[in-house]
């Protein structure tokens, strides 16, 4: 029996897990941004001229919601300055001239057998190794797991990898099955729960069979096969499919006793605890119509996007758009100089022929956007209120519950720019709330002075 959720779509998956993992030669210079997580940005711990080892901590912030960053190569720091960030803007970064020696930093020793059973030791190691949500959310994992202790009774591991193109999770399952199960066990121990439920879409039946042959029950893990449907990997969809619990509008997974952690995050936890290895590389799927691909490229954090394309055979057509992540929820990068970061699961170089934009699209009231929304929203009405700038109704129609999965836009025959509109609407509402808060504070201060 397979598990799933209501709504969703079936895009052309374009996946290629049969393409083996290739290792990208690290570049002559890596650029390590101080922001590779949700939360407080890191402050650089090194200066121009310093020598750093591979895996050495080079940036941190003591705030609870933050995660340190590490050198992905050994070499000399040649700059500490703002550089283009893959998610936009210029961000303080440490630039390291690679000495191609990969001299390892041994600050993080593997945990002892006793420590591997202690929640606190695992949580501290997750933090020190810079483990963040590597499914793309980049939320610091130690903080996420710690805040769920006592509230969460079901740990859900996300193995859906439902975004088109991406193969990193599937290949991690196939190439490192035992390490992955041990990583999930560590997250389970740190979460203080007896069982982890590993939801995997059945288009990865080879991985399900392989993982089952390693007796996941030994590690306190149950594998839950899921129907193939986008966005099965959305947090709320995973929870519904695996546990039957429903996160209400505006609610959080912990509100229904669940926490969701991605496959690659569990593998990073294994590396951090068993090998003493911080997050300095990951499998990045490289594809799109502008390159001769796809490639499943093991890539060091800090590899410039232009260099990555070159290493994967270069461009066969002129690229017009770089998408980080998958095509449904990915974000456009604006510079080939921007580097890969911990959350970069894929880099797609498109020629532009994939663009579905049309001039002056007109809604034909077919309702197809409503039937596929996994959050039970009504995109057609939300779009109408967005067009009118009607904030009140946008909130009434729960636009803030839209997690920008793109299913409505994908299913819309009129090609209305629905997801883009909701992204903008959420920003508008946020700006309005901030303005109102500031006005109320100013008014209160004025009253107090009277």
Quick one: which segment of 13-21, 142-150, 334-342, 379-387 binds ligand SF4 (CB under 6 A)?
379-387
| Pick 223 or 380: Cβ nearer ligand SF4 | 380
Contact 189, 216 (CB under 8 A): no
- For residue 429, the minimal CB distance to ligand SF4 (Å) is 14
- Residues 421-440 binding ligand SF4 (CB under 6 A) are 422
- For residue 152, the minimal CB distance to ligand SF4 (Å) is 24
- Measuring CA to CA, how many Å separate 440 from each of 84, 427, 434, 445, 447? 36, 20, 10, 9, 10
- Residues 95-114 binding ligand SF4 (CB under 6 A) are none
- Measuring CA to CA, how many Å separate 265 from each of 26, 135, 221, 390? 22, 7, 16, 40
| Pick 358 or 444: Cβ nearer ligand SF4 | 358
Q: How far apart are CA 231 and CA 4, in angstroms?
A: 10
| SS3 readout for 21-58 | EEECCCCCEEEEECCCCCCCCCEECCCCCCEECECCEE
- 384 makes contact with ligand SF4 (CB under 6 A): no
- 143 makes contact with ligand SF4 (CB under 6 A): no
- For residue 268, the minimal CB distance to ligand SF4 (Å) is 28
Q: How far apart are CA 421 and CA 198, in angstroms?
A: 34
Q: How many residues bind ligand SF4 (CB under 6 A)?
A: 28
- 91 makes contact with ligand SF4 (CB under 6 A): no
Q: How far apart are CA 139 and CA 121, in angstroms?
A: 19
Q: How far apart are CA 10 and CA 229, in angstroms?
A: 6
- 331 makes contact with ligand SF4 (CB under 6 A): no
- 386 makes contact with ligand SF4 (CB under 6 A): no
Triad 372, 261, 285: Cα angle to 5°: 75
Report strand pairing: 196-201 vs 154-159. Answer: parallel
Residue choice 151, 317, 320, 368 for contact with ligand SF4 (CB under 6 A)? 368
Question: Which structure tokens are listed for 378?
Answer: 């009504």
- For residue 7, the minimal CB distance to ligand SF4 (Å) is 7
- 90 makes contact with ligand SF4 (CB under 6 A): no
Quick one: which segment of 141-149, 291-299, 306-314, 362-370 binds ligand SF4 (CB under 6 A)?
362-370
- 358 makes contact with ligand SF4 (CB under 6 A): no
- Residues 390-419 binding ligand SF4 (CB under 6 A) are 402-408, 412-414, 416, 418-419
Quick one: which segment of 100-108, 142-150, 318-326, 378-386 binds ligand SF4 (CB under 6 A)?
378-386
Residue with tokens 């610091």: 140
Q: How far apart are CA 196 and CA 190, in angstroms?
A: 11
Report strand pairing: 346-350 vs 281-287. Answer: parallel
Other beta carbons within 10 Å of 13: 17
| Pick 296 or 419: Cβ nearer ligand SF4 | 419
- For residue 369, the minimal CB distance to ligand SF4 (Å) is 3
- For residue 167, the minimal CB distance to ligand SF4 (Å) is 23
- 249 makes contact with ligand SF4 (CB under 6 A): no
| Pick 148 or 406: Cβ nearer ligand SF4 | 406
Residue choice 34, 380, 394, 421 for contact with ligand SF4 (CB under 6 A)? 380
- 377 makes contact with ligand SF4 (CB under 6 A): yes
> Can you name the residues that pair with 154 across neighbouring β-strands?
258
Beta strands in 101-231 (DSSP E): 154-159, 196-201, 221-226
Residue choice 332, 358, 364, 438 for contact with ligand SF4 (CB under 6 A)? 364
- For residue 203, the minimal CB distance to ligand SF4 (Å) is 21
Q: How far apart are CA 61 and CA 185, in angstroms?
A: 28
Report strand pairing: 196-201 vs 295-300. Answer: unpaired
**Using CB under 6 A as the criterion, which residues of the chain lie in contact with ligand SF4 when the complex forms?**
363-369, 372-373, 375, 377, 379-380, 383, 402-408, 412-414, 416, 418-419, 422
């Amino acid at each position: 029996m397979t598990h799933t959720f209501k709504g969703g779509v079936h895009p052309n998956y374009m996946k290629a897990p049969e393409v083996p993992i290739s290792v990208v030669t690290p570049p002559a210079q890596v650029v390590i941004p101080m922001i590779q997580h949700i939360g407080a940005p890191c402050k650089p711990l090194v200066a121009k001229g310093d020598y750093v080892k591979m895996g050495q901590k080079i940036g941190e912030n003591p705030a609870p919601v933050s995660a340190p960053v590490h050198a992905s190569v050994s070499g000399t720091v040649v700059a500490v300055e703002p550089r283009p960030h893959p998610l936009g803007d210029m961000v303080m970064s440490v630039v390291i001239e690679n000495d191609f020696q990969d001299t390892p930093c041994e600050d993080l020793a593997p945990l002892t057998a006793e420590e591997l059973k202690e929640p606190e030791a695992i949580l501290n190691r997750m933090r020190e190794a810079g483990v963040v949500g590597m499914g793309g959310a980049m939320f610091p994992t130690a903080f996420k797991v710690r805040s769920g202790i006592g509230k969460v009774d079901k740990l859900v591991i996300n193995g859906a990898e439902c975004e088109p193109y991406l193969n990193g999770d599937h290949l991690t399952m196939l190439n490192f099955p035992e390490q992955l199960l041990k990583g999930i066990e560590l997250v389970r121990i740190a979460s203080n729960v007896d069982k982890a439920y590993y939801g995997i879409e059945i288009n990865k039946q080879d991985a399900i069979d392989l993982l089952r042959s390693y007796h996941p029950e030994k590690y306190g893990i149950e594998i839950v096969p899921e129907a193939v449907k986008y966005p099965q990997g959305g947090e709320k969809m995973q929870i519904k499919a695996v546990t039957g619990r429903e996160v209400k509008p505006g609610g959080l997974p912990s509100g229904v006793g669940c926490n969701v952690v991605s496959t690659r995050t569990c593998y990073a936890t294994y590396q951090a605890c068993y090998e003493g290895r911080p997050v300095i590389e990951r499998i990045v799927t490289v594809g799109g119509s502008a390159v001769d691909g796809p490639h499943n490229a093991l890539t060091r954090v800090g590899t410039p996007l232009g260099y990555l394309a070159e290493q994967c055979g270069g461009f066969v057509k002129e690229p017009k758009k770089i998408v980080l992540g998958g095509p449904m929820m990915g974000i456009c990068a604006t510079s080939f100089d921007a580097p890969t970061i911990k959350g970069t699961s894929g880099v797609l170089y498109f020629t532009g022929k994939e663009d579905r934009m049309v001039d002056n699209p007109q809604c034909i009231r077919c309702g197809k956007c409503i039937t596929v929304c996994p959050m039970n929203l009504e995109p057609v009405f939300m779009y109408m209120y967005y067009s009118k700038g009607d904030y009140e109704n946008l909130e009434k129609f729960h636009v803030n519950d839209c997690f920008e999965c793109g299913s409505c836009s994908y299913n819309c025959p009129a090609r209305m720019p629905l997801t883009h509109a909701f992204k903008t609407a959420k920003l508008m509402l946020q700006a309005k709330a901030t303005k109102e808060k500031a006005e109320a504070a100013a008014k209160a201060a004025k009253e107090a002075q009277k």
